[in-house]
Amino acid sequence: MSLVNLFSGASGASGASGASGASGASGASGASGAGGFGSPLATNALILHRDGIVGEWQAGDDELLDVPFPGVDSPSQLEKWEPWVRATVLDFELFSRLSFARSAGSERFTVEHRTAAGPSVPIASMIRPPQETFKAQLAFLDAYADLREDRANEILAQLVPPLAFWTSIANLHPGRTRWTIELLDAALRLAVFVEMRFKHALSCPRPLEYSPQVQPMILTPGHASLPSGHATEAFMVAKVLHALREPSQQKAKDLLEEQLMRQAARIAINRTVAGVHFPMDSTAGRMLGITLGEYFLSRCTGEGTFSKRVFDGTRFVEGNDFSWNESLDDAEALGKHVYRTGTSEAEKSHFLAWLWGKAAGEW
């Protein structure tokens, strides 16, 4: 679900974004109902209306309007299109540079960035944990279930992308930060695209499949457990929002980052409370979300690097709970279950840079 659409009707902002429903133009100027575009009444009226006023056809050079002829494939044209059209252009820009590969003879899978010239560059890799580790983690679900009554409202509100929660920290608003919301939409689509590919490849069963005593408080999603999609998306948004809104004062910068990361962690943990995710799923999702956030920023700005990271489930200690602030950048030699293999750069996309500039201008 689009963040733009979430704002429609959320917290009384129905129609405020100006983007949701724009393609149908219903209600665009009080013309909802039978008089709106696409209705049989309006269509017939427009036919008769033209017959009544068009007069003799005039098409001389001095009678035609001057129409600016834009440059080919110019990012500046994006502002003219409907939001869903911009979204398809941006998605093609992002997804056409991604590939997914399995290391020969192993259960290691990697999402890679396809460079304009040269070999693909790894972004994030995952190795499936053994089944015994998942079974041992069921004890966490039993313990976290005690929090269900306290967290029920949060869990239900976070079934869709938790825009209201991000807004509570970052001060998003459909009328003032429409481009920021579109930017986050693009980031979330990238997260979903990648996380679902990993989920399919690793095919890790959900907690309910191991024990009928789990009894989730919500419907168990119809896809695999690891990595957690909520964790991936929440940490990616936290990374992007912090970079976009980064204050000049160091203390304010640190506090903003901490609150965004704590919020992402709570969203992730709520999925374990609900009974649909293992803590280990959130660990993998946090790594993927922050790494994809860095990669997304690199594509948007062309500045800085992104870390290439690995989640190795075979190294995960069965009794480990999810931790929102454990290091993601240790060396592989330390034997960690999450480690960094180096850094890389991704070419700046002129389309994504255009949207980033529009979003940054709102702050």
In order of 161, 230, 250, 309, the CA distances from 290 in angstroms are: 17, 13, 21, 10
141 has a pLDDT exceeding 60: yes
Structural domain spans, the chain = 98-360
| The one-letter amino acid at 252 | A
Give per-residue pLDDT as tens, 228-247: 999 999 999 999 999 998 78
CB 127 within 8 A of CB 314: yes
- Rounded Cα–Cα distance for residues 204 and 357 (Å): 39
Report the DSSP beta bridge partners of residue 98.
Answer: 113
DSSP 111-141: EEE--SSSS-EEEEEEEPPPHHHHHHHHHHH
Mean pLDDT computed over 95-103: 95
pTM for this structure?
0.89
* DSSP conformational letter for 79: G
Q: Name the E strands within 26-162.
A: 98-102, 108-113, 121-127
Mean pLDDT computed over 173-195: 97
- Rounded Cα–Cα distance for residues 260 and 278 (Å): 22
Cβ contacts of residue 59 below 8 Å, gap of 6+?
none
The third-level CATH classification (topology) of the domain covering 98-360 is Vanadium-containing Chloroperoxidase; domain 1 (1.20.144)
130 — pLDDT class (breaks 50, 70, 90):
very high
Q: Is 100 left (phi over 0), alpha (psi -120 to 50) or beta?
A: beta
17 has a pLDDT exceeding 60: no
CB 159 within 8 A of CB 218: yes
259 has a pLDDT exceeding 50: yes
What's the pLDDT score for residue 246? 79
Q: What is the mean pLDDT of the chain?
A: 90
- Rounded Cα–Cα distance for residues 22 and 29 (Å): 12
25 — pLDDT class (breaks 50, 70, 90):
very low
What's the pLDDT score for residue 145? 98
- Rounded Cα–Cα distance for residues 135 and 69 (Å): 63
Pairing of strands 98-102, 108-113: antiparallel
